[in-house]
Structure 1
Amino acid sequence: MLGRLVTAAPRRVLVVSGLALALLAVLAAGAVEALSLNRYEAPGSESLAARAALAERFGTGSPNVAVLATAQQGDVDDPRVAVAGLALTQRVAAQPGVGDVWSYWSPGAPATLAAEDRRHALVLAWVPGDADHVRAAVLPALSAAIAPLDGGVVDLQLGGADEVFRVVAQQARADFVRAELVVLPLVGLLLWLVYRRLAPALLTLATGVFAVVASLGILRVVTLFTEVSTFAANIALVLGIGLGVDYGLFVIHRFREELAAGRAVDAAVRAAVAHAGRTVAFSGATVAAALAVLLVFPFPFLSSFAYAGIAVVLTAVFAAVVVLPAALRLTGHRVRRRAAPPETGGFWFRTAERVMRRPLAAGGAGLAVLLLLGAPALGVDFGSPDDRLLPASQPVRGMYDTIRADFATEEADAVQVVAPDLAPSGVAGYAAALSRIDGVLRVDSAAGAFTGGVRVGEVMRSRFVGSGGGTWLSVLPTGERLASDPTGLVADVRALPAPSPVLVGGYPAEVADYRTGVVERLPLVAALIVLVTFVVLFLMTGSVVAPVKASVLNLLSLSVMFGVLVWGFQEGGLAWLLGFTPTGVIEPSIPILMFCVGYGLSMDYEVFLLARIKADFDRTGDVVGSVPRGIARSAPLVTAAAVILAASFAVYATSEVTFLQQLGIGMALAVLVDATVIRGVLVPAAMALAGSSNWWAPAPLRRLHERIGLREEAGRLQAAGIRGA
């Protein structure tokens, strides 16, 4: 029906689609600026309850803004520098939106707010509000307000967690623009090498561009209702180009097959929509479902990628099965291939035949390679991101390099213990007990400052006492404990018996709660992805064996990606090449995103491969021969699509944000491994070993598949005809 509609009124379809795209393009123009970089926080967690209690009862919170003051001459205790520091503190406190301010020059301030060499000191501020408000409204005004104080006596650098991630968001946007400028001509060149004709190359590229622009427009609408991460734009670009080009390749390939078989243009378009279009729709459903499971996580940062992924798939499928066929109807024979290669005898056919003759040896060798490359993943260590996401050339990164080198600890990373009902008489004993926890440098409280169980000085008592009663304590960790085991530190603080109920918060606790929330949901996410892909492949093949095999092989493929992440980024094996600073940990959200994207793309290629093999088996009944013939017909196309998608991802290896470097390198490698080792070696080996069991299903499921399953037409299937692939 869709094919008939497209061929009956192709110009009308293109005009309506063009108008829709124009509207979405208007929305897309403002999409990147409307996106934000979300904070790492877990809704409903103890740390967020502690944050709310601190704000409501004590008018303070974890410092999310900092100013590093460096004495141009002398040290921070010199009278002129002290006057300038106090004026700076007052200037920050006077800014609209700033809630609480303290500094080295405040009465009762701890000595750790100054560097050990006394050349630097900190002004810390708590600015309430969401990330967009702080980063877009408060920080620029604050930067302008303190600028006149920079020079003469002290040099100033604005920092804090929100400033760090504001700069990260700016860099991600800049990388998005740069990637657009590189990806589009690169993909266009690769498509020309595949087709050796300009018309099909431009049509395929246009399919990807349609998906990118339309999905950005959809994301702009989503931002009206919820937060969407800046990184969603990067995902929309690379997935939009990748999936749009993939689907365009498959539809044009089927259209060319039908022309080569002697069909008229109208009939060839209808056949392409009916068969390749249905496969594209199933493939899109697989990718969308794999990314939709990110909605299981109640974190805006991860759910942003679900919105982006679903938008990309919907627009890419629409472009491939509606817009592209209409264009093919008008273009006609100008996309026809010059010559069709033989049905058998090509590289992929010969490779599959050799593998199937010795499946144990070939499959064992391929498996060994994947396990070797994936082995480093066993040493993964999840942790929180910091300023080292940015290159050392960024001023805010330089500020924190100074703090790490010259300060005993970082005051902004204190664990905050809120005790709404703690009586004054119980504060000293509890503060002393907290200060004896391994890795705690000092505890500040209404009863004074404590170190190693001993009271060591006074603090500004009024900061720790609420107007309605209750108190809170600041537990300052050592730099070593914070770097090596922040989650364990938070657990130790929470495990210590308290004289009254307490809430433990602060940046380390928020990161720990976020990490716990992510890790707890991993089994559910994995189960949902496997279930969805099982259903899709069962509908495709009518087999219960093929989906299980595909899931196992996909996990092997993704293990290589995780192995490279750990070796290359956690352990720093790629630091010399990419110019980042390894921190010894991996932030868990990015591998989860990569898992969902990678799994969906692997199933994308699996759908196209199995569709060809199953169609040949249904036509011939040849269990063994259908595998190399199906691979020979699909592998050149899959390889071409994989190379283009990998190239699109690889552009982000040049980013100045480590997250994007991880995404670019990891996904490019996963796609290439999947399209070569998995599809070229392990798939034929596994299918040779399974034999006729490849297509087995219990009788009730066979009957179900006969009613609702997807089948290719059992007719004449011509060879691929993809030059240069």
Structure 2
Amino acid sequence: MRHSHTAAPHAPADPKVGGRLAALGRACYRHRRWVLGFWVVVLALGVLIGGRVFEGTVASTGAGGSESARGEAVVQAADPVQGTVTAVVDGAAATDPAVRAAVTAATAEIAGLPGVASVADTYGAGGSLTSADGNASLVSVRMADAGTPAQLDAVTHRLADIGAPGAHVTIGGDLVLQQEVKDQTEKDTRFGEIVTLPLTLLVMVLVFGGLAAAGLPGIGAIASVGGALLAMFGFSRMMDIDTSVLPIATVLGLGLSIDYALLMVNRFREERGNGATIAQAVERTSATAGRTVAFSGLTVAVALSGLFVFTSPVFRAVAVAGVSVVVIAVAVALTLIPALLGFVGRRIRTPVAPVSDEGFFSRTVRLVQKRAVPVMLVCVALLLAAGAPFLGSQWRNSGADVLPKSFAARQVAQTVEERFPQQAPAPVTVVVEADAARAQAYADDVVAKLPGVDGVRAVSPVGDRLSTVEVLVHGDPQGAQAKSVVDELRAERGGLQTYVTGDAASVVDFQHEISSRGPWALALVGAGTLILLFMMTGSVVMPIKALLMNVLSLGASLGALTLVFQHGYFSGLLGFTPTGGLETFIPVLVFAFAFGLSMDYEVFLLSRIKELHDQGYDCAKAVQLGLQRSGRIITSAALLMVIVFAGFAAGQMLMVKQMGIALAVAVAVDATLVRCLLVPATMSLFGKLNWWAPAPLRRLHRMIGLSEHIKLPPLNLPARLPAPRLPVVGPVARLSD
């Protein structure tokens, strides 16, 4: 295909830029209609199956392979009942004959509905399902095999139509809770996309000074979401995907795809400002900014790979989803964006004025360099103080608390806990592989006599050789006392095969998994990051410093998470009720995601500083110019990330809100306090030592070292064209690629 705008006939032929990324850019430009068509199909399929993705998700099942998870699996295998629907009939005396007639008529009809294993009301249970004040009662429906959506709807509709005079009915239970969590998670995901995309478009219009350039990152983000939905749909058919994974993967895909497209468009404008034709600019953008995108994606994928060390399904699902989303975001940047540049490249405004090497960031660096030690100490002290609250964090399985108070499932759970305590889930449950008689003897002789146990509420047979023992403890059902009882029960099994389960046991197992496998995950992520940064910089000092500063930045994020969601600061403003702790798996996910994103910005800055150092600038000047030339693009990218995370944090699901707030704080702290103050201060103090490596490693780097930069051949411009302008990017500084 020929394009009249490639070069004037009398201009010398431009040498092709070498490398596979340049070749990929050329191919996507030449076949841009096919590339665009492919991504349109991906987006269409993603939209069509979007709802089905959420249907295939499941609630978190606890720490994979742990005792609590094994115990729950044993009970589920023996008991055909996989879930319950609970209705609270409130506001009228349970002894009222009209109320009794309405309730018993409904239970009789529900018992004959498909999928119902059994149904119980207070009149058939001897009054045990009546509240202490006598003004409320429960109807409990046990569903076989969790029921189909149609079966569940039939049960809930009939319960809602009980129609007892003067009474109102609220419907909850674990099956209703799961459905409400899925529905609200899907709504929050859609809400986050709808809110963040227009806001990011507005910011990019201000950054680029035009709608054509600003629209490309938005289009790339939409395509990435379509690809992410397809990937999640495929994985949900091969493995259990926790409901909370989908918005987490979506927010990562949106943020990364916008950032990567921002880098590509910015470099394209720079090349156009240097006199390149559209075809040349696309090729050179793919060779340079494309290299940055690929390297960045690799660093984020390495950070997420640490989650594979854990055995819990939620961690593995997030790892698979996260890595696949990173791959999709990189693929969009390297294929769709070059194709779109071919379509709208002429409409993208070309900068006309060079960017000065003197500005806000260079002045800031000089001030920092004059007071490097005090600045470093103050920054470290602030970050340590910000992270200190996390040392006192409590981890919890939130259950119905993940939903706002306005949701029926949470209202029912709270009502049962307050007015029907005998029906509330026991803090600790022991699954005993023995008949009811031996299980009762074990409960009386062993369990009831353990310190911290308030009593045994019930011993229930599940099968001929399987029983459950419900154990009551004093105080918080997931507090220190309950966890201590879990340890005692696991130490004193009475000679029987037992499994200690329940929320307290699940939290204990999660914490054990993190304490035992966490160091291995940290070692994997740390080693991978050190190797990547060494291959890029040739230094062993800068990678170690980068790791330490990232840990400080992450500590501040986790500290803010603890203050907000455990202690309740700003809970009214953010629209949630504190549960007294953090969701068990959230801190680990925050670490993996925030570490990858922070290292992303570290790569942007260090690559620019290294480039200047290699050009002969001393350390102080390289840091000044490096931050001046990359500071604005890092700040712009971070602002877009914060907008994306804040948009998802505005939803109602507590887990999504926790992730959004934590990642927004991590990115904001990293792009301001760390990159603008701490990095310049430490690099100024270390001086030439920044680039130190042992001689064997220096030789190794010369052989296998990577670089985000590629030496481009000069443009052979026609004689009639004016001399090429310096590469600039308008309102945003030049990229470090």
Whether TM-score is above 0.5 comes out as yes
Tell me, what secondary structure is at the counterpart of 2:497? coil
**Judging changes above 3 Å, is the alpha-carbon distance between structure 1 residues 45 and 98 closer, same or farther for their aligned structure 2 residues?**
farther
Alignment map for 1:292-691 (pairs within 5 Å): 292-332=305-345, 334-408=347-421, 410-413=423-426, 415-421=428-434, 424=437, 427-428=440-441, 430-431=443-444, 433-437=446-450, 440-444=453-457, 463-464=460-461, 466-467=463-464, 469=465, 471-477=467-473, 480-481=476-477, 485-691=481-687
Residues 6 and 13 of structure 1 are in contact (CA less than 8 Å); yes or no, is this contact kept in structure 2? no
* Offset at residue 626 of structure 1 (A): 0.8
Matched, 1:50 2:46: no
Secondary structure of 1:656's counterpart equals: coil
Q: Name 1:454's counterpart in structure 2.
A: none
In the alignment, which residue of structure 2 is the partner of 1:40?
61
CA 1:156–1:189: 2 relative to 1, 3 Å: same
Aligned runs of 1:109-124 on 2, under 5 Å? 111=128, 113-124=129-140
Answer with 133-142 or 531-540: which moved more.
133-142
Matches of 1:699 and 1:649, distance apart in 2: 43
The residue correspondences of 1:56-455 to structure 2 (distance < 5 A) are 56=77, 59=79, 64-74=83-93, 76-77=94-95, 81=99, 93-99=111-117, 104-107=122-125, 111=128, 113-127=129-143, 129=145, 133-134=146-147, 136=149, 138-152=151-165, 154-332=167-345, 334-408=347-421, 410-413=423-426, 415-421=428-434, 424=437, 427-428=440-441, 430-431=443-444, 433-437=446-450, 440-444=453-457
Q: Which amino acid aligns with 1:54?
A: V
2: distance between equivalents of 1:523 and 1:560? Answer: 20
Q: Following the alignment from structure 1 to structure 2, what is the Cα–Cα distance between the partners of residues 100 and 477?
A: 29
Name whichever of 358-367 and 679-688 sits farther off: 358-367
CA 475–582 in structure 1, closer or farther in 2 if over 3 Å, else same: same
* Residues 145-202 of structure 1 deviation map (CA, whole Å, 9 limit, x = unaligned): 3233243375332222332232122111111222222111111101001011222111
Aligned Cα root-mean-square deviation (Å):
3.0
- Secondary structure in structure 1 of the residue aligned to 2:170: strand
Measure, in 2, the Cα distance between the counterparts of 1:426 and 1:643: 59
How has the CA–CA distance of structure 1 residues 301 and 88 changed in structure 2, closer, same or farther, with 3 Å as cutoff? Answer: farther
- SS of the equivalent of 2:619 reads coil
- How far apart are the structure 2 equivalents of 1:22 and 1:315? 14
Comparing 245-254 with 265-274, which one deviates more in the overlay? 265-274
| Deviation sequence 1:341-370 (CA, Å, 0-9, x none) | 444211011111211222111122222222
1:18 is matched with 37
The alpha carbon displacement at 1:400 in A equals 2.6
The 8 Å contact of residues 431 and 445 in structure 1, kept in 2 or not, is answered as no
Please say if residues 257 and 332 of structure 2, whose CA atoms lie closer than 8 Å, have aligned partners that are also in contact. yes
Cα distance in 1 between the residues matched to 2:217 and 2:46: 23
Letter in 1 for 2:683: M
| Equivalent AA in structure 1 for residue 235 of structure 2 | V
Specify whether residues 156 and 82 from structure 1 end up closer, same or farther in structure 2 by C-alpha distance, changes over 3 A only.
same
Tell me how far 1:581 sits from its aligned partner: 1.0
CA distance in 1, matches of 2:335, 2:28: 11
State the SS of the aligned residue for 1:723.
Answer: coil
Give SS of 1:6's match. Answer: helix
CA change 1:655–1:71 in 2 (3 A) is closer
Distance 1:547 1:472 in 2: 53
Do the aligned partners of 1:643 and 1:672 also contact (CA within 8 Å) in 2?
A: yes
Please give the residue correspondences for 1:714-725 in structure 2 after superposition, counting only pairs within 5 Å.
721-723=729-731
Deviation, structure 1 residue 405? 3.2
8 Å Cα contact 1:67/1:122 also seen in 2: yes
Mapped partners of 2:199, 2:667: distance in 1: 17
Stretches of structure 2 lacking an aligned partner (at least 5 in a row): 1-19, 715-724
Preserved CA contact (<8 Å) 2:39 2:223:
no
TM-score of the aligned structures, taking structure 2 as reference length? 0.87
- Quote how far apart the aligned CAs of 1:710 are: 2.0
Length-normalised TM-score, structure 1 = 0.89
Cα-to-partner distance string for 1:569-609 (whole Å, 9 max, x where unaligned) = 10101212112111111112122212111111111111111
Q: Deviations over 1:605-656 (max 9, x none)?
A: 1111111111111111422211111111111001001001101111123211
